[in-house]
């Protein structure tokens, strides 16, 4: 039972978007292939975890759907934030020859 409210559809879109970006980086990037593969594994792990949580209908009873959506969105936000911080760090402090 995956919820299909508009908020959850936006969340699923962001999962798909980040997944496509990480798959592209892991298989088609030249510079950051290992970094993208590690991020793809982490993404896969928390995607499996939240798909198990989404598939159980009892997790959405009594108004707890907002809590599930908040934590799954928070994980995506933190992952993107970490990717941005690493990108900024690499652009300023690591010099390529």
| 55 vs 68: CA distance, rounded Å | 12
Q: How confident is residue 1, by pLDDT bands cut at 50, 70 and 90?
A: low
Q: Are 14 and 76 in contact (CB under 8 A)?
A: yes
**Residues 2-15 pLDDT 10s:** 777 888 888 889 98
Q: Are 27 and 88 in contact (CB under 8 A)?
A: no
Mean pLDDT of the chain: 84
In the chain, % helix, strand, coil (3-state, to 5) comes to 85, 0, 15
The pTM for the full model equals 0.77
Closest alpha carbon to 65 in 81, 80, 47, 50: 50
**Residues 71-95 pLDDT 10s:** 888 999 999 999 899 888 888 887 7
Mean pLDDT of 54-58: 83
């Amino acid at each position: 039972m995956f919820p299909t409210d508009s908020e959850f559809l936006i969340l699923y879109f962001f999962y798909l978007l980040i997944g496509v970006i990480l798959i592209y980086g892991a298989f088609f990037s030249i510079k950051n292939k290992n970094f993208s593969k590690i991020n793809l594994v982490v993404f896969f792990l928390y995607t499996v975890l939240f798909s198990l949580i989404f598939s159980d209908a009892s997790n959405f009873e009594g108004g707890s759907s907002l809590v599930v959506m908040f934590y799954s969105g928070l994980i995506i936000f933190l992952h993107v934030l970490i990717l941005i911080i690493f990108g900024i760090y690499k652009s300023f402090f690591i010099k390529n020859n």
